């Protein structure tokens, strides 16, 4: 293997007349951090889209709100919120394939167009039907960004910082949520939409100057450009030869295999990777995160909190952002498995206790639901929030990424739609306590899934991860 790597590196230099650097410096990390932060400005925009309904619908459904351009019913508001998930399911399906054909960078820049257009439509909207169109349009972009941005990060990151950088996707979503909650607490309808449009513009300008991923450039036969991109991401004095040769070997192996669904499923590593990615996305949503966050204000109110709904939302946003930031610092220290196991186990306990409090209608301990919700959100943000997105970018070979990432994102947003639309009917039929117990049981099942099936990918190269998947090992 060492001889093949050295030969590939030598062939690269001879074919392209690219000389190795005079010195042999370790890879710099700050260019990778810069690229990851820049690309995740798109996920910050995703966070604004996801959270816009919270302050906006409060205004649109308030008949006394003079700043609202029109008013909507509760049923219309429900569709305004849930149609985003429908658009995201549709947008996720072609996004991976488009990114494979045109590149990760052009695909992400292109997805900014429907995202920006959705905010323009919201600014000009004159009724609920127009908002339906805007939310579907935003969903197309959200689904595409969710499929492509984690892959971009995984392909530009060195294995030593891939966990930290991969967690930026969820971190920036939570920052986008907090940003929207803070602006929405003070700004009227049109000002809020304008504030949400601003991050899209900043992303387009900043990301325009970022490089394409070396892996994608190699798949297109642009090896000189791949070397240049790698040196931009690792530093001009980085000895790129071993890494570029390994990437070239992966690309050459991928080019010998077709990327149809049938061919992907024939590979043991791809099958297991797809199972793991779909499983983690399912656990993330079946944990009930959207239902808990959506009804946080109600829980605060029932617990006797004096916080206003907007203040309660800001508190939740701060907690989520802080916990996700902590996760980014721990990802390459504790590892993915540890954070996932901690997250699912503690979430199960928090939801079980919350359900018990509601079922028994306990008096005198109104602080207990607040503690349960805060603990639940903290541990979700540490593990089940960021890790599924990170591992979606880690688990697949280049030929499987477009299919597998599309399937993973589609599954995620399908379950977002299911959970948000079924929570109230289930609560009415079974009782809110029973619904929380169901979510607790699903979290416990998720912990079992992680313990027996999910491998530890911390510090592993893509090749090592594929070998683990092929053999069924978890460490």
Task: Flag whether pLDDT at 8 surpasses 80.
Answer: no
Instruction: Report d(CA 112, CA 65) in Å as an integer.
Output: 31
The pLDDT of residue 168? 92
Q: What is the mean pLDDT of residues 426-455?
A: 93
Residue 364 pLDDT exceeds 80: no
Q: Say how far apart CA 376 and CA 335 lie, in whole Å.
A: 20
Per-residue pLDDT at 393 exceeds 50? yes
- What is residue 248's predicted lDDT score, i.e. its pLDDT? 87
Q: Residue 369's closest CA among 380, 348, 349, 353?
A: 353
**Window from 2-6, 139-143, 369-373 with minimum mean pLDDT:** 2-6
Residue 359 pLDDT exceeds 60:
yes
Output the average pLDDT for the chain. 86
Q: What is the pLDDT of residue 230?
A: 93
Instruction: Tokens for 196, please give them.
Output: 């949400």
Identify the pLDDT of residue 6: 45
% of the chain exceeding 90 in pLDDT: 47
pLDDT at 10: 44
pLDDT at 465 over 90: no
pLDDT at 21 over 60: no
Q: Which helix (H) or strand (E) holds 218?
A: helix 214-219
- pLDDT tens for 214-225 read 999 998 889 999
- Percentage of the chain surpassing pLDDT 70? 88
By mean pLDDT, which of 96-105, 187-196, 253-262, 432-441 is the weakest? 253-262
**Lowest model confidence (mean pLDDT) among 137-141, 303-307, 377-381, 437-441:** 303-307
Per DSSP, the chain holds a count of helices (H) and strands (E) of 24, 0
Q: Under CATH, what is the fold of the domain 30-210+257-471?
A: Growth Hormone; Chain: A; (1.20.1250)
Per-residue pLDDT tens digits for 54-103: 888 888 888 887 788 888 988 888 888 889 999 999 999 899 889 989 99
Predicted local distance difference test score (pLDDT) of residue 297: 64
Q: What is the mean pLDDT of residues 164-186?
A: 91
Q: What is the distance between the alpha carbons of residues 402 and 435, in angstroms, rounded to a whole number?
A: 35
**Position with higher pLDDT, 120 vs 401:** 120
Judge whether residue 7 has pLDDT over 50: no
- The pair phi, psi for residue 238, each rounded to 5°, is -75, 135
Q: Assess whether pLDDT exceeds 80 at residue 182.
A: yes
DSSP letter (8 states) at residue 64: T
Please say if the pLDDT value at position 106 is more than 60: yes
Residue position matching structure tokens 């925009």? 45
- Across 86-90, 367-371, 428-432, the highest mean pLDDT is recorded for 86-90
Q: Using a CB cutoff of 8 Å and minimum separation of 24, what contacts does 205-211 make? A: 206/38, 206/41, 207/38, 207/39, 207/41, 207/42, 207/105, 207/108, 207/109, 208/109, 210/35, 210/38, 210/39, 210/105, 211/35, 211/105, 211/156
Q: Which tokens in the block code for residue 318? A: 């701060």
User: Residue 157 pLDDT more than 70?
Assistant: yes
Mean pLDDT in residue range 246-272: 74
CA distance 121 to 268: 46
The pLDDT of 122-136, averaged and rounded, is 94
| Residue pLDDT, tens place only, 283-323 | 999 999 887 776 666 666 666 666 777 787 788 888 889 99
| pLDDT given for residue 261 in this prediction | 63
């Amino acid at each position: 293997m060492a001889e093949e790597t050295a030969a590939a590196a030598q062939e690269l230099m001879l074919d392209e007349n690219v000389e190795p650097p005079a010195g042999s410096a370790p890879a710099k990390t700050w260019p990778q951090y810069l690229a990851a932060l820049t690309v995740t400005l798109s996920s910050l925009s995703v966070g604004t889209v996801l959270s816009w309904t919270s302050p906006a619908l409060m205004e649109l459904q308030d008949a006394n709100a003079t700043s609202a351009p029109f008013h909507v019913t509760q049923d219309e508001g429900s569709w305004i919120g849930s149609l985003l998930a429908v658009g995201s399911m549709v947008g996720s399906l072609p996004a991976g394939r488009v990114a494979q054909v045109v590149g990760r960078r052009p695909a992400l820049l292109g997805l900014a167009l429907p995202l920006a257009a959705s905010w323009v439509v919201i600014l000009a909207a004159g009724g609920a039907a127009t908002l339906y169109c805007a939310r579907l349009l935003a969903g197309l972009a959200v689904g595409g960004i969710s499929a492509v941005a984690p892959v971009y990060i995984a392909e530009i990151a060195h294995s030593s910082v891939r966990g930290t950088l991969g967690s930026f996707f969820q971190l920036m979503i939570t920052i986008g949520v907090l940003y929207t909650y803070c602006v929405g607490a003070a700004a009227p309808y049109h000002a809020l939409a304008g504030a949400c449009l601003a991050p899209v513009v900043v992303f387009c300008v900043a990301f325009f100057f970022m490089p394409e991923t070396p892996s994608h450039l190699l798949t297109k036969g642009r090896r000189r450009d791949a070397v240049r991109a790698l040196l931009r991401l690792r530093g001009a004095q980085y000895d790129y030869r071993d890494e570029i040769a390994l990437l070239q070997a992966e690309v050459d192996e991928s080019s010998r295999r077709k990327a149809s669904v049938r061919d992907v499923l024939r590979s043991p590593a791809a099958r297991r990777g797809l199972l793991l990615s779909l499983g983690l996305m399912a656990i993330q949503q079946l944990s009930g995160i959207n239902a808990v966050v959506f009804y946080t204000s109600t829980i605060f109110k029932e617990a006797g909190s004096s916080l206003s709904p907007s203040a309660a939302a800001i508190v939740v946003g701060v907690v989520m952002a802080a916990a996700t930031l902590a996760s980014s610092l721990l990802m390459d220290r504790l590892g993915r498995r540890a954070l996932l196991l901690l997250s699912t186990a503690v979430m199960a306990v928090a939801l079980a206790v919350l359900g018990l409090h509601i079922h028994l209608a306990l008096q005198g301990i109104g602080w207990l639901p607040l503690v349960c919700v805060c603990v639940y959100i903290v541990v979700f943000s540490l593990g089940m929030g960021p890790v599924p997105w990170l591992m979606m970018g880690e688990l697949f070979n280049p030929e499987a990424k477009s299919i597998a990432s599309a399937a993973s994102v589609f599954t995620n947003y399908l379950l977002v739609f299911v959970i948000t639309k079924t929570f109230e009917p289930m609560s009415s039929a079974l009782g809110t306590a029973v619904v929380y117990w169901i979510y607790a049981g699903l979290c416990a099942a998720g912990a079992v899934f992680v313990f027996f099936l999910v491998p530890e990918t911390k510090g592993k190269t893509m090749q090592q991860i594929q070998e683990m998947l092929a053999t069924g090992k978890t460490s």
